[in-house]
Each structure stands twice: as C-alpha cells, then as structure tokens.
Chains A and B, each alone.
Chain A
Amino acid sequence: MRNLVRYIISRTLMTIPMVLILLTIIFVVLRLMPGDPVSAMLGGHAPEKVIEQKREQLGLNRPMYIQYADYIWKVCHLDLGESMVLQQEVTEAISDKLPATIELTTFGMLITLVLGIFLGAYAADKRRTMRDSAIRLYGIVVYCIPVYWLGLMLQLVFGIWLDWFPIAGRTGARIFPSDFENTGFYLIDTLLMRDWTAFGDVLLHLVLPAFTLGLTLSGIFVRLTRANMLDVLKADYILAAESRGIGHGTIVYRHALKNAFIPILTMMGLQVALLMAGAILTETTFSWPGMGRLLLERIYLRDYPTIQGVIIVFALMVAFISLLVDIIYAIVDPRIRY
C-alpha cells in the first residue's frame, strides 16, 4: 500500500511538466494570434491613446517573457488571474462551467462503457457469425461518425420529429437553476432539494447529449473488448471451466470478461482526450453551457487568462483520469505492484 501511495505521488508530480509544456504552447500561440483582448473589447476604431492605456492596464505592453514569468508565478500560487474582457475571476468562470462538462462526460462515458463492453463481449462470444460481423461493422461505422453530426441527427429524430427530448440547454424554460443551484451538478442539486420536476427536466435534457457522446466513443470499446475477449477465451482456464460444467454465460460474462477488463481499463485512460474533444463538440451542438463553450467564446474575445485557465483544467482532467485509471488498475489486478 505504501508503494501505491509513493507511486501516486510520483505520478502526480509527473503531470507538472505536462501541464507546463501545454501551458507554454498555448501561451505562445495566444500571443501570436492576430488581435488581442483590447481590440476585441474596444473594436478597431478606438483612439490610440485609449488602446495604449488599456494595454498598459492589462500588462500587455510588457515584454512577452515577463508576462510569461508573471503568469507562471501566479499559477504556482493557484491564481489563474482575472479575465481580461469581463469583470470576472477565471476560477469563477471555470467553476461555473466545469460541473456541466463533468456531468455530460460522466454519463457519456457510462453509456460508452456499458454499450461497448457488452457488445464487444457478445461479439467475441459469437465470433465468426453474422452477429459478430454486424457488431464489428457497428464499431467501425460509429467511430467514423463525427460526434457533432450524430448530435444533430439525434436532435432531428428524437427532438424534432418525435419530440421526445429537448435539444438545447441543461434545463427547460420553466425551471430556474437559481432555485436549486448549489454544487453546479444539476442532477445532484435537484436530488438534494428533492425537487422532482426539476430533476426530471434536467435528466431529460441530459439524455440526447450523453447518448451522442456515449455512442460515438462506444465503437472503440467494442473493438477493444472484442479483441481482448478473443484472447482470453482462448486461455486454458476457460477450457478448464467449461470442462467442469460451468454454464457458458457465466464463463463468458463473469470469468472471461473480468480478465479482459484490465487491458480495457488501460485503454480507457487513453480515450480521455477523445472524450474531452467529443464533449466540446457536443456542447456546441446542444448549447450545453460547459467548458467547451467557454473556451470557444473566449477565443473569439481573445481573453488570454481564461483560455489558459481552461487549458490547464483540461490538462489536469486528463492527468487526473489517467492517474485514477492506474489506481483502479492496481486494485483490480493484485499482480501489479509499483
């Protein structure tokens, strides 16, 4: 156990250079972009003097390396600074939007895992049959469908034609988040307040975006699960279990799937980047007020501190989830020692 703790600490320290590199790239990219927060705010026709004044006030007239050193120094003190465009702390803007993204990605991932792992295991069990081929085809096709288009198609069919689900936002017109907002996770908030109408409404709004995200990613997991299950099903202990007369279903879905799960878990960590990218696009399609929308809005406004803050949070999320995966890995498979 102490080894695990030491491992977790060293892994956490290893994320620092990663975040720093990404931050540096983004810092430089932002400063090289045409336009800056001042021109985005004041428009192109403000008098020279006003522009100069504003630039000085925001510290944009200093040499770039000084701005960089200053920013890194602040970040080390966990201070993400203040937005250059709006009167708002960056941490505030992020904590406002982050729960929406986490809610969406969590449910998306859940749908992916259930769908991907079950279909993959089933295909491996029925290998070389029509059903297997159909599931493999599903895996390939679904991977190639852009997440934003899938979102639009689900909107069209289930939102507009069938009118079962709302197609935009996190809540309906008659539900006011201010009535229950507490943690920002609306599902939890409404549960805590025992506001069942609001809970139902929030859940209903989550269905289409979560399925959009979940379906798109499920293709990879179908393929992974199938490949790993095929390997496991060839193992001697499966034959041994069969010869002992254990039911086929028990062997496939309990013995084999458990053993195939470890490599799947490793891959899960690598899919986080895809999950985040998918979330950004899904948020745009469904007007979901999360981190992706925040990022895009602020890129148009050239709001440097907020964009950098969002990047840091995304990088930390990626690092955190891969760390989490590693820890689960160690718990699931006692053979792994760090």
Chain B
Amino acid sequence: MNYSMARGLARPIRFFAGMGRKYGVEWWILCVGALIIIAILAMAFFSPFIAPFDPYRQDAGPQLAAPGGPYLMGTDNLQRDVWSRIVFGSQTILRVSVLAAVISSFFGILLGLISGYAGGAVDRSLSLVMDAVYVFPGLILAIALAAMFGPGVLNITFAVAVIYIPTYFRLVRGQTLAIKQELYVEAARAIGAGSFTILGKYIFPNVIATTVVVFTLNVADAIMIEAALTYLGLGLPPSIVDWGMDLAMGKKYLPSGVWWLVTFPGMMISLLALGFTMLGEGLAEILNPRLLER
C-alpha cells in the first residue's frame, strides 16, 4: 500500500522536476500561474462553502470594522463581510473575462480566416476596420459599448469581447496568408478540396496553436478591463457582487483611512490577472520561444 503510493507520487514529482530541468524558470512561472488560477477557480465553484457570510447580508458585523476576528478582511459601510464578497465576486469576474475571451477569439479567428483566405476587397475592408479598432484605446470603446448595452453580466461580456476581436483577427489573418501559400494547401486544392474543407481541415488546425497563448494573455487583459468598467460604474447592476464595484465603493472611504475596502478587491484583481499572465508567458516560452519577443 505504502509502496504503491510512493510510486504513484514519484511519477508526477519526476514529471514536474523533469519539465523544470528542461524549460527552466518558464516552467515554474507556468506552474505558479496555473496554481493561482486553480485556487481562484475553486473559490468561485465552492463559494457558499468558503464564504463565512452571505455576501449580501447587511448585518454580518459592525459598520466598517477593521480586518480581524471573524471578519478576515473587515466589513464595509453596509455592514457586509468583505471576505465573503471577495469569494462570491470571483464568480462574476471569471465568468465575464473567460466568456469574453471565448467570444472574441471565436469571431476574431473566423473573420481572420475569411479575410486572409478570401483576400481582395473583403480582406482590405475588414483589415481597415480591424486596424482602426486595434490602435484605438480599447477601454474607451468598451466604455461606450458598456453604456450602450446597459448594465448586465452578458452585456459587459460583449462590451469587453468586442475590443479584443482585432487581436485575434490580425494574428490569424497573417498566418492564414502564409499557410495559404504552402504546398500542402495547393495539393489539397489540386485534388479538389473546397474552400470550406481547406479552411477547416488544413488552415485552422495550424492557426489554433498560436492562439492558445494569446487567449490566455487575453483573459488577463479582459479581467482588468472588466474591473475597470465596473470601477467606473458601468456594466453591472449593483445587485451583483463584483470586485471592481467593491473597489469603487471603497474608494469613498479611503480618505478617512479605511484601507481594507480598496486593498483586498484590488489585490484579487491583480492576482487573477497575474495568474493568467504567468500561465500565458510560461506557455509562450514553452510552445514557441520567439512568439513574445516580437
């Protein structure tokens, strides 16, 4: 029994150490990033079991109590427990940022494939629009979109998703242009494969690998944009627990020395963004060492 457990453990340990020797620091960066993400994911999935109080409960403790005792991170102006709100808030930010990245990668990859493959006027006009959006400050566009859609979880997700479509578009379009010229694509065309087959079976699988890294880094950016929008008071109704909104609320009490209302939500936003960034950086170095150098 003991023997087999030691053997069972030895294998993953050997795997981790081996990867560490092979890739050096990058491997450990990836692992730390993954650990942070897993921890916060667990927080989101098991919120009711982790949080000591209901995040909406307005008599969880005294008003503006400093961290300590039963209130790990203190209480806010409405007597709610900050730690419980942090735990439940992780659900909102994860849902919005990951879904936003999924949506923008879907449209970005699709349009990039079409544009790169079709060429001509389609390509030129799509590229023109995408480049205009790409160089423009994404936050400003997201502010306008969030104001247009009105408050709501799905609305803010779309507002964040739109501004990242050009990122995928540019990446995929460039690669499609290159892959289109490859011999195997020409061979496929010669044996009579249609455009749809070529795009789906020959080009798409070659493009998807590089988007993985961009996707991870994109989630990190989406996290900060989501929190920025809610910090500015856009995007979500007050009935939803969210780190950015808690930050904006705590800001009012900062001049009177109430530090815990801004410190903890902000720390969590940074930590989550850091997790995805580290995962992305590690992946980039391991999958494709030259990708991030640009």
Contacts and interface: CB of A to CB of B under 8 A. Distances in A.
Contacts of B267: 149
A277 B135 contact: no
A295 B232 CA distance: 12
Contacts of B131: 18
Given A160-B257, A227-B293, A276 B140 contact: yes
A318 B137 contact: yes
Interface stretch (B38-46, B49-57, B172-180, B270-278): B270-278
B178 to A, nearest CB: 21
Nearest to A231: B293
Given A148-B231, A296-B143, A322 B266 contact: no
B129 A21 contact: yes
Given A17-B132, A133-B25, A295-B143, A149 B270 contact: yes
Main secondary structure, interface of B, reads: helix
Nearest to A152: B262
Interface stretch (B65-73, B111-119, B247-255): B247-255
B269 A146 contact: yes
Contact of A141 (B144, B145, B274): B274
Given A141-B274, A152-B254, A22 B228 contact: no
Given A152-B254, A153-B263, A274 B144 contact: no
Interface string A113-154: 000000000000000000001000000110111101100110
B273 A296 contact: no
B133 interface: yes
A98 interface: no
A160 to B, nearest CB: 6
B220 interface: yes
B171 interface: no
Nearest to A292: B140
Contact of A276 (B133, B137, B277): B137
Contacts of B148: 29-30, 32-34
Contact of A146 (B29, B128, B150, B266): B266
Interface in B255-291: 255, 257, 259, 262-263, 266-267, 269-270, 273-274, 277-278, 281
A22 B136 contact: yes
B147 interface: yes
B225 to A, nearest CB: 8
Interface string A307-320: 10001001100110
A217 interface: no
B43 to A, nearest CB: 18
B141 interface: yes
A88 to B, nearest CB: 21
Interface string A321-336: 0100000000000000
A257 interface: no
Contact of A160 (B255, B277, B278, B293): B255
A135 B139 CA distance: 28
B227 interface: yes
A236 B150 CA distance: 58
Given A146-B269, A156-B254, A273-B137, A22 B132 contact: yes
B145 to A, nearest CB: 6
Contact of A148 (B228, B263, B273, B277): B228
Interface string A243-273: 0000000000000000000000001001011
Interface string A13-48: 000011001100110011011100000000000000
Contacts of B137: 273-274, 276-277, 280, 314, 318
Contacts of A277: 137-140, 228
B138 A273 contact: yes
Nearest to A228: B293
A284 B269 CA distance: 18
Contact of A21 (B128, B263, B274): B128
Contact of A29 (B128, B145, B254, B262): B145
Contact of B247 (A34, A152, A155, A267): A152
A17 B130 CA distance: 12
B257 A149 contact: no
Contacts of B269: 146, 149
Contacts of A281: 139, 228, 231-232
Interchain residue pairs A-B with the least CB separation, the first 8: A149-B266, A277-B139, A21-B132, A276-B137, A144-B273, A144-B274, A33-B148, A273-B137
15 contacts: A18-B135, A21-B128, A26-B141, A29-B144, A144-B274, A153-B266, A156-B263, A276-B139, A280-B137, A280-B143, A284-B232, A285-B251, A295-B140, A314-B137, A318-B137
Given A146-B231, A153-B263, A160-B254, 15 more contacts: A17-B128, A133-B25, A140-B29, A140-B278, A146-B224, A148-B228, A149-B247, A149-B269, A156-B262, A160-B255, A227-B293, A272-B135, A277-B139, A280-B143, A299-B147
Interface of B: 25, 29, 128-129, 131-133, 135-141, 143-145, 147-148, 150, 220, 224, 227-228, 231-232, 247, 251, 254-255, 257, 259, 262-263, 266-267, 269-270, 273-274, 277-278, 281, 292-294
